[in-house]
Amino acid sequence: MSDVTLQQVREALERIRERIQPTPVLRSDRLDQITGARLFFKCENLQKTGSFKARGALNTVFSLSEDQASRGVATHSSGNHGAALAWAAGMRGIPATAVMPSNANPVKVAAVKGYGGTVIFCEPNHKAREETAARFISETGAHMVHPYNDVRIVAGQGTVALEFLREMPDLDAIVTPVGGGGLLAGTAIVAKGLKPAIKVYAGEPEGAADASQSFNSGVRTPVSNPRSIADGLLAFVGDITFPEIMEHVDAIATVSEDEIERAMKLLFEELRVPVEPSGAVSFAAVAGGKLDVKDRNVGIIISGGNIDLESNPWARPPAK
């Protein structure tokens, strides 16, 4: 029995639909030609706060009882979830605090603060994030909103796929990025619940490939010291998300840093939309030929667009 159900995702969409942005689905003939598939891009980079994370955060914050919400919410985050939680908390009129690594992207730190959140910095590793957040919650009584390992978060993220498949019911496959697994698990629950024959795939950076290794072995196995320009995908799959992934996902492909940069550049050139490295990983897996999608209708979720324009990885000056 799944911890997260299709009905919970439907309820989440009803809860958040008036507050989120229904995101567009874009097409490109050239990208179809490059990949040999018919691609449909669900642009969550154009979502409120610049990523799909707004959905899960909003669903969770507005699921809280008055007592749970009274002391505010807290989380740990590389950026997008923290910003989304601060935004959602602001809509409910409660405080939000995000524990962030000391090397977090300055643009994402500024976003958390810009939405009214408080930032606490910690050492740049997963253990420090969890311990710092736990200490803050113990001291303040704030309600923890985990970035991915939470049924309410997974249900909220699943609304991307629910919206997508209502718009594009003839998809043969759907592809997401994977870090902690909230988006992938939610997508898989919805996709397989609505169309059992649909293929559900994910892309993951080679330098942070715990999801693919865990998926292939069947045992949840963290990667020590994950590294990638896709900073939003450095988390470990959770004990809530992993069983859903094992049950419903068909394949997880890994991509190189160069493939991520190329995907970002192609998406900007062909769709005219900004896509952050984490958001481009799903397309990178398709463009790199890592998934069997030829001649199929393929939905690709672009998960975020919060780019630091000062350090855009594919716009570096040429070497002298």
Provide φ and ψ at 36, rounded to 5°.
Answer: 75, 15
Of the candidates 60, 238, 281, 88, the one whose C-alpha atom is nearest the C-alpha of residue 149 is 238
Give residue 256's Cα distance to chain centre: 18
Q: Are 88 and 114 in contact (CB under 8 A)?
A: no
Outline where DSSP puts E strands in 104-177: 118-122, 143-144, 173-177
From 77, 78, 278, 282, the catalytic residue: 78
Phi, psi of 171 (to 5 degrees): -65, 140
Residue tagged active-site, from 53, 108, 192, 290: 53
**Using an 8 Å Cβ cutoff, are 113 and 98 in contact?**
no
User: Does the annotation count 199 as an active-site position?
Assistant: no
Determine whether 53 is an active site residue: yes
Tokens encoding 59: 């669903």
List the one residue out of 180, 246, 244 whose CA is nearest residue 1.
244
Q: Which residues are catalytic?
A: 53, 78
